[in-house]
Structure formats: C-alpha cells, structure tokens
Amino acid sequence: MNIFFGKIKKERKDQVAKLIYESDEGWDGFGGLNEGDYVFLLCDGKVHLWKAMNYDSALKARTFECVLESIGKQSFFFSHIKYFKLTMDLVVKSHRQTHQAFFKIDYEPEFTEEMLCNRDTYKADSGLFRRVFIRNSKATVEQNSYDVQLFFDEGNLKLAELKNSDGSFTDGFKDNLSYAGKGREKKDQTIAFVLDKTNQEKPFAYNSKLNASKIYDAFMVDYNAKEEAPVEDDELDFDELIVDNEAFDSQVNLLKYKQNVVLQGAPGTGKTYATAALALSIVSPTFKNFDNHQKVMAEYEKCLMKIDEDGYVSNDGQIAFVTFHQSMDYEDFVEGIKPICDEESDGETKISYQIQSGIFKAICHKAKTQESSNFESAYAELVKKLQEDGYVGYEKYLILDSGNEKSKSKFGISLNKKGNLTLWTGTKEDDLHHQGTLTRENMVRELSGETVFQSWKGYFQGVVKYLKKEYKLSSSKKTENKNYVLIIDEINRGNVSKIFGELISLLEADKRDGAEHPLKVTLPYSKEQFSVPSNLYIIGTMNTTDRSVGSIDYAVRRRFAFVTLKANEDAVDSYYNGNKNLGEIAKAKFNDVKNFLESPDVVAPDVDFDDLMVGHSYFMAKTEDELKMKWEYEVLPLLREYKKDGLLRRSASLKEFDDFNYHFQKKVVGKTPAEESR
C-alpha cells in the first residue's frame, strides 16, 4: 500500500468535484503516483482521501475514486498523524506551495489499509494524532514518544526527540523566546502561546495555535527581527506568490516542444523571474526549488555564461543573457568584422581586422561542443610562459611546429592584449610576419573536431599539439549532452529580422541540427557552415505596453510561441498574509486600477486589457511608505504614459486617480497634502 498527499489549488477546485487531476500523463509532478495508490488530497482547506485510478487520455487527467470526503481541515493534518514519519519535508511541503503536486508518505506498518479507509480513525480522540506538550523540565519528558514535547533545560527551551521521525524536524531547533515582541507578528504569536502555556501539563491536539508547522516557523528559522517589518520575510517573498505551478509546468512543456518562447505582459507581471525559472527547468533538471525565489535566482546566477568581447565562453555556464535594442544588428549578435588595435615595438598603433563571434554564435558553438577538456588550465600555463619569456605584442614570438606532419613547417605565436595568440608566418624563422589572430574560441572548436579555417588548420593543430606535449592538454567525449538557454530581454525593442538575418530559418525545432529537416547556412564573414543545435532553447521577453518600437513580423512570430503573463490579484493577497491592514490598502489600489481599465470607453479599441493591467509586483511592499512611493512614482506615471501614448482613449479621465491618491495619503499617512506641508 502506497500513501501520498497531494494539493489542488482552490482556483481549480472544480477538479475535486470531478475526481480528476488535469496534467500530462508523464508529468513528474505526480511524484511516482500510480493506479491503486491512496492520496490525502488537500484543496481549499479541506482534506479528502482518494484512491488513484487510470489516466484518462481524453480528459488529459488522472482519475480518482473518493474513499472519504472531508476528513480534516488543515494542511498540517498530515504532519500530526503519528504513523507518518515526521520529516522537515512533510512539514514544509504540506503547507507551502511547491512545484510538485504529489508526495509519497513514509508510514509505519501498524497503519493498515482498514484504518486508512475508516472515518472513525480521524476523530480527534482516536489516538491517531501526535499531541503537543510544553514540559517544565527535562525530567518530565516522556521517552520514545510520538508526541511533540517542548521542554526547559537550564532555562533554555528545547525540543525532545520523537518516535517515527528522521531527526530532521528536531535538528536546528532554536530557542527564540528572547526575541518575543521584536517585530515578527506570527512568530511572536507562537512564542507568546508557548510562554502562556508553560508549566501547564496539558497536551494540545494539532490546532491553529500550536502545531508542527508553527513550531518550525517560530523555532527552526532565524528570527531576524526588524521593527519595521510586521511579518516574516519568507511570507513577504515572491517565492510562493507568483509561481502558479500548473501554469509553470505548461510553460516548461511548451518550451521543450517549441524551443522558442516569448513571455509577454504588462510591466510588473513577473517576466524576469519567470525567465530565470524556465531556464533552470531546462539546464538544471535536478533543481526542484521553483517555489523559492532566492534559491532560483542563486542557481540562475551560477548557471550564467561568461562571454568575453571575442565571443569566447570562459566558464561552464549554460545560460546566456542579452538585451535587444534599436542599435543592435547582425554583426553584434551573430558575427562581424571588428577592428583590433595593437601597439608595435616602435610604439605605433597597428590596426587589424578580425571576425568576432556574437553571443548567439558563441552559445551555439558551446552547445555543439561534445568534448570536455582541461583546455582552460593548459592555456593559462601557455599564457604564463609567453608573459614570463617576453613573447608579448610584436617584439618576439615563440616558434612552434606546424600540425601538418608532411610540411614540417614552422610558425610563431605571441600574446596579444586580449589574451589571444598573434600568428606569425613566413619562410625564415627569424623573419616571420604578422598574419592574424588565433582566438581561444576557435582553438576550442578545432580541439572538438571542427574545421574553422581550412588554410589555418595546421597552425591550430600546432598550438594544440604544443599544449598536449608541454601542459598535458587532454579531452574526452562528454558523457551527456547538456542543454543551453539564450534569454533575449526586450526582444521587440530590436529589429528581430535584421538581427537574426538568414538564421531565422534555422530556429524552428525541426530545422535544428540533428532534427527531422536540418538546415545549414554559410555565414557571410567567416564562410563557415552554421546550424542551430537542438539542445539550445530561446526565451524572449516582451513588454506589451511598449508601442515605441515596431511589432514582431509574422516570419519571426510563427517561429516562437507566445505566453501572456497576467497581473495576479491572488499574488497580492498572498503576499500580505499576516499583515491584513496593509494588504487591504494594496488590494484596493490593485482593484481600482483594474476596474478603471475594465470600464467602457477607457482602453483604446486595438489594445487588450491584459496588455495594460499593471502587474502585481507594483502593489507589493513591506511598509506603507514603500507602497505609497510605488503608487505615486511608478503606478500613476505609468497610467499617465498609457494615455499619452494613445493606449487609453482621449476621453478617459485620470482625475479620479488624483482623488484616489489623496485618499491613499489620508489613509496611510493620516494627513492631507495641506497638513503635510505645514
């Protein structure tokens, strides 16, 4: 018998009535759930016991049979059943939003199927649930007990070990009693309850006042008191607010299918965060903390590529970021001829020209490279030697053997200002002439088996041969083909057709390298054969209110899937959980803007409401002063700009928002503008 717990968002509670969970059949969010498994299903604060049935392809949903309806009311119901192993995962995942929807529960064999399916089992006096005790000394703690026991030992509050627990729940317990009253409202409520009930040898069943999740929040997380913050930081984070798990899974599946996606929406709808989360879903398949904003952004930073001005990727990053603008063109994005300035031995500046890769060509080459090597460390040793021995600039060069075994010819290399190798060729070793530049990027490509310049192949091979001999350069086939993501911010601010040029035809999934109908083109400057790899994904962002730039043409549009991110009132509501007064003000502002834009004869006829509705992030603030500043200096100017740009009808009046602004000042600050000026 397998037991799971699962969650359905209250906005989709119609699925509870239908006894289904809508999702793709192979979706990993099912967590291994199979036909015949039992599920404690949480929706809209109620707990039901279901049994998994078959997957219905027509409905695109897993079907269930209802065994028991409404057997509990709280999400922390699961963490207090004593036969379920109490772990930190069980506590956190049962009352926080998560990317995964179903989780398997470890349980003791004493919990039989007959007990599971009997409604009487879940009565408060059945003995099923762990109780909570607050003991006045260590001596009164009951050993080997299922119950949660807080106790005092030499004046310090501690948590006793529990039966049927992996230890993760008791590890890291902190005595935060001394922080009482220092600014964390919910923590303070739990601490006050503990202090009030101290020395009362009375157990508490799981309840809203004291339970495993309350103990976790109050005593297992740093208090981090800040007088100006009335609620906990983790409740004011975007982590559990903006990520709609079902919508996110749909976006991930769409990106995997189409490979090119544009996230579009009004300002403040979460496009930046969504691109980071989507990118991680592609490049880091083992990453699961999509409901934690800080962890997502930290992992995203670790995965970013470092690309130098020569188009060389100097780290193992898998995500590249670029912002389109009106001055960007093909030469910046794909490849172009760039001037190189070097100082001659006589002090004069020598200008030469070389082909440099843009970010798109660089990430494509990185994605196609199937070799892993110690090139970076070996090349660093070569650079060190060239610097120490004076082979820098145009004064002298290091003689190497060509990689062509038949010719036995010699050539020279020296180090230029950018860390690449200046190539010297000729018939006499003591009178070689400057020929061009051997870049690190092209050496890596030659090392992986590509031919960059056929006529220079011997020179590249000569450097590689020297690195192998002197600095133990080695390479091997990659064990796995990594995925890569290119994020194009503000994609509509550039001339997309001009920037991509002929490569626009290669973006389609079936035209990629190794796909069903692969295409290659000859690049105009390097003359090399070029294709887009199948393990590269492109995510663009687009501000739907920006009419100062041209729209994306049909040729580009049909190669991308477009996803609209909308302003989410539920995100605003969840953000202020525990700070209702400020939350009511913020929601009032959100709804006033919404009602205004939905009013007849306000929005221009060629504009959709979702293109203009100010995003939820504009209404999220930790203090009243911050919310006031966002309204006055971000929201109102944006609405005025809408009207100026013709997105609102000329007849649309913003005067009521001036009144609303005054009302905001009166409600939050408590003074009229005239009173404030005194």
Torsion of CA 325, 326, 330, 336, to 10 degrees: -90
Cα(508)–Cα(519) distance, integer angstroms: 10
Cα(103)–Cα(4) distance, integer angstroms: 5
Q: Which of 83, 101, 122 is the last residue of a domain?
A: 122
Q: Which of 373, 263, 276, 271 is nearest to 318 (CA)?
A: 276
Together in a domain, 365 and 387: no
Rg (CA), the chain: 32
pTM: 0.58
pLDDT, residue 99, reads 53
Together in a domain, 324 and 399: no
- Torsion over CA: 382, 383, 386, 389 (sign): negative
Cα(302)–Cα(317) distance, integer angstroms: 7
Together in a domain, 342 and 429: no
Cα(207)–Cα(351) distance, integer angstroms: 77
Cα(640)–Cα(176) distance, integer angstroms: 48
Q: Is residue 145 part of a domain?
A: yes
Q: Is residue 579 part of a domain?
A: yes
pLDDT, residue 82, reads 87
The parent domain of residue 472 ranges over: 371-476
Q: Which are the contacts of 389, defined by CB distance < 8 A and separation ≥ 6?
A: 398
Please list the ranges in the chain whose pLDDT falls under 70. 26, 28, 72-76, 94-100, 172, 181-184, 197-209, 221-246, 291, 309-312, 341-350, 370-372, 405-407, 448-452, 476-480, 547-551, 577-578, 651-678
pLDDT digits (tens, 9 = 90+) for 34-90: 899 999 888 877 888 999 998 888 888 889 999 988 886 565 677 788 888 888 777
Q: Is residue 378 part of a domain?
A: yes
Q: Is residue 548 part of a domain?
A: yes
Together in a domain, 504 and 643: no
Q: Which two tokens stand for residue 237?
A: 């984070």
Cα(450)–Cα(369) distance, integer angstroms: 9
Together in a domain, 440 and 527: no
Q: Which two tokens stand for residue 603?
A: 């929005």
Q: Tell me the three-class secondary structure of 223-258, residue by residue.
A: CCCCCCCCCCHHHCCCCCCCCCHHHHHHHHHHHHHH
Q: What is the CATH number of the domain that holds 495?
A: 3.40.50.300
- For the chain, how many residues are written? 678
Q: Is residue 239 part of a domain?
A: no
Together in a domain, 22 and 112: yes
Together in a domain, 548 and 650: no
pLDDT, residue 245, reads 60
Domains contained in the chain, number: 5
pLDDT, residue 238, reads 32
Q: Is residue 234 part of a domain?
A: no
Q: Which of 122, 155, 183 is the last residue of a domain?
A: 122
% of the chain surpassing 70 pLDDT:
80
Q: Is residue 233 part of a domain?
A: no
Cα(295)–Cα(362) distance, integer angstroms: 28
SS3 state at 95: helix
Together in a domain, 377 and 472: yes
pLDDT, residue 653, reads 66
Q: Is residue 238 part of a domain?
A: no
Together in a domain, 182 and 328: no
Together in a domain, 298 and 447: no
Q: Which two tokens stand for residue 91?
A: 């506590």
Q: Which of 201, 227, 253 is the last residue of a domain?
A: 227
Together in a domain, 93 and 109: yes
pLDDT, residue 310, reads 63
Together in a domain, 313 and 285: yes
